[in-house]
Structure 1
Amino acid sequence: MLLCHLQGGLMLNTIKRWRKRPGLDSKADAVTRKVQSEQWLDDAGVTVNKTLPCLPGVHQCTLQSAHAIWQRIYALFYLSAKAEDQDPAALSMLQKRCLSPLQFTHNEQKLLAQDNWTLADKESCVWRYEAINTLLWTLKLHVRLSKPNQVCDILGISRLVLNSSAEELTARTKIRTPAQCLDQADLYYRYSQSMTSKTGSIYLADINEQVVQQRFHCFMWLMGLIEWDDAFPSALQQLSKQERLQVAP
């Protein structure tokens, strides 16, 4: 739950900063989206905090390009494969599949520079399959996102991406509209906040907390509302002060 509280607070602060920018107000589409998400969660039996603010509207966001999304997908596949201790030949083959050099974030570069990964590092990277699944949905390579009560089909998405060339996948790409992505961003924003509140705890047994968080933060990045490293901090950054002391050399 520590990760949820830390990232939940980060997201709330990010949203507050957005809403303080000159000329930005609660656009009609943002208000409608908030009401729709609350109704959906109410119908699903999730207790919703209706005092949470609206996310920015469609015209206040910039959807990531298809190229940027594919760059993220291949980089995340590489990190996940490395976390699973795949042999160097497999990692090299993955790099060659990408149309351009893999682009890693600052935190990812620091992690790749380390010879020995902690268990927390590996688990964090393996969870990125859920982010990959969300990104593939954005590119219309998935019809829908399933209920977040179980992990994605890792073998299925691996076959989808790795059994086709980058050229073939790019040709099949049809990116969803900003409104569709914001619908999901808003829904998972309220989902995630319900999971970190006491009122939402009754529903935790039927929902995978990590799946919700991965989808939520991925959508926030997709809409240009937060940098990837802020949405997905390193494993060490996720630890409390006491936990950091325990893993310190």
Structure 2
Amino acid sequence: MTSLSPAAQRKAASEALLRDRQIPINPHLPHVEDEIECQARSTEEVAWRAMALLLVAVKGEGLEQDIVEQILADYRLAPHLSPEEQDFVANLDPSEHQRIQFSWRYEAAWTLLWALGYVAELGEPTAICDVPMAVQLMQQRPPEQFIADAKLRSQGEILDATDLIYRTHWAVVDARLKGQEAPADLIPGVVMERHHALNWLVGYLDQPWDQVSTDT
């Protein structure tokens, strides 16, 4: 008997978890990239991205512009912001829609904090992340210490999470297309932000942050 490849094993494990949670699966979805195909991010790169996401999220939540600019300077984050993040941080009067969209970045940041070992368990995407804890993790450390204290998880563990969220996101999108609520108390915004962060982590299609695809 031919043994399953690691990627096929990962797909099978994800589908088993989803069945246990009574989340619909699409058996025709392909497996995600394996460890040879994917692009590994460095601890430093992931840490800077997490700090940048936390900055735009706190601004989205309503933090005063002068404090946002102080954090930007203190943490030397300007070179680490994506083009869309740069525009948002510089915008003195963002729309409510922009604020809401960027406040969701807490969930992407939380995913990266998990990847960096700061968060023990990612858990099911059925609740909003612990925003005060996420902010505190950054507040407690200057950037050098934030990077030094991080312990990036193995690529295999990150790929496991990527495969699972890919299939979970399919279920959310399928429900929306059918005019139904997301299954199993899944929160669509949390699912999408995790998918975005994890696809970036594995270098999906080698896309920069603002262009990362979350197709299902």
TM-score by length of 1: 0.76
Contact 2:199 2:213 in 1 (8 A): no
Aligned CA distance change for structure 1 residues 50 and 63 (closer, same or farther; 3 Å): same
- What CA deviation, in whole Å up to 9, does each residue of 1:16-36 have, x standing for no partner? xxxxxxxxxxx8111111111
Is 2:187 the counterpart of 1:208?
yes
Contact 1:134 1:215 in 2 (8 A): yes
After superposition, the CA RMSD in angstroms is 2.3
Aligned CA distance change for structure 1 residues 113 and 203 (closer, same or farther; 3 Å): closer
Deviation at 1:71, TM superposition (A): 1.6
Matches of 1:77 and 1:202, distance apart in 2: 29
Corresponding residue number in structure 1 for 2:148:
171
Corresponding residue number in structure 2 for 1:120:
97
Please, which of 169, 194, 197 is the counterpart of residue 192 of structure 1?
A: 169
Please, which of 31, 38, 46 is the counterpart of residue 69 of structure 1?
A: 46
Aligned CA distance change for structure 1 residues 228 and 91 (closer, same or farther; 3 Å): same
Contact 1:148 1:211 in 2 (8 A): yes
Matches of 2:182 and 2:69, distance apart in 1: 43
Aligned CA distance change for structure 1 residues 200 and 62 (closer, same or farther; 3 Å): farther
Aligned CA distance change for structure 1 residues 42 and 176 (closer, same or farther; 3 Å): same
TM-score by length of 2: 0.87
Please, which of 221, 228, 232 is the counterpart of residue 209 of structure 2?
A: 228
- SS class of match (1:47): coil
Q: What one-letter code is carried by the residue in structure 2 that aligns with 1:98?
A: Y
Per mean C-alpha deviation after superposition, the further-off stretch among 201-210 and 155-164 is 201-210
- What CA deviation, in whole Å up to 9, does each residue of 1:136-164 have, x standing for no partner? 00000111112211100101111111122
Contact 1:131 1:215 in 2 (8 A): yes
- SS class of match (2:81): coil
Q: What one-letter code is carried by the residue in structure 2 that aligns with 1:227?
A: P
Q: What one-letter code is carried by the residue in structure 2 that aligns with 1:107?
A: E
Aligned CA distance change for structure 1 residues 120 and 232 (closer, same or farther; 3 Å): farther
Deviation at 1:70, TM superposition (A): 1.6
- SS class of match (2:136): helix
- Percent identity over paired residues: 28
Deviation at 1:100, TM superposition (A): 6.0
Q: What one-letter code is carried by the residue in structure 1 that aligns with 2:211?
A: D
Equivalent residue pairs, number: 207
Contact 1:74 1:102 in 2 (8 A): no
Matches of 2:213 and 2:89, distance apart in 1: 15
Corresponding residue number in structure 1 for 2:69:
92
Corresponding residue number in structure 2 for 1:48:
25
Specify every segment of 5 or more residues in structure 1 that has no aligned partner in the other structure, as ranges: 1-26, 234-249
